[in-house]
A = this chain, B = another copy of it.
Amino acid sequence: MKYPEGIVKEKGIKNKTSNDKTTKINYTKRGMGLEDDLNVTNSYYREKDIAYIYKKPTPIKLVKVDYKIGKIKEAYFDMPSTTDYNGIYKGKYIDFEAKETTSLTSFPLGNIHSHQLKHLENIYRHKGVAFLIIRFTRLEETFILMEKDLLDFMKENKRKSIPISYMRKKGYKIKIKYQPRLDYLEALRKNGGI
Chain A residues proximal to chain B, CB less than 8 Å: 1, 3-4, 7, 11, 20-25, 46, 49, 51-52, 54, 56-60, 62-68, 70-78, 80-82, 86-93, 95, 119, 122-123, 125-128
Contacts and interface: CB of A to CB of B under 8 A. Distances in A.
A93 B126 CA distance: 11
Contacts of A92: 91, 93
A188 B74 CA distance: 40
Given A60-B60, A77-B72, A88-B95, A21 B126 contact: no
Contacts of A127: 88, 90-91
29 contacts: A1-B70, A4-B62, A7-B62, A11-B67, A22-B64, A23-B66, A23-B67, A24-B63, A25-B63, A46-B122, A52-B82, A52-B122, A52-B126, A54-B81, A57-B59, A60-B60, A60-B72, A60-B75, A72-B74, A72-B75, A86-B87, A88-B95, A88-B123, A88-B126, A88-B128, A91-B93, A91-B126, A91-B127, A91-B128
Contacts of A21: 66-68
A3 B77 contact: no
Given A54-B81, A72-B76, A76-B71, A23 B64 contact: yes
Given A57-B56, A126-B91, A67 B3 contact: yes
Given A51-B126, A86-B86, A122-B52, A60 B63 contact: no
A22 B51 CA distance: 41
Contacts of A1: 70
A49 B82 CA distance: 15
Contacts of A119: 52
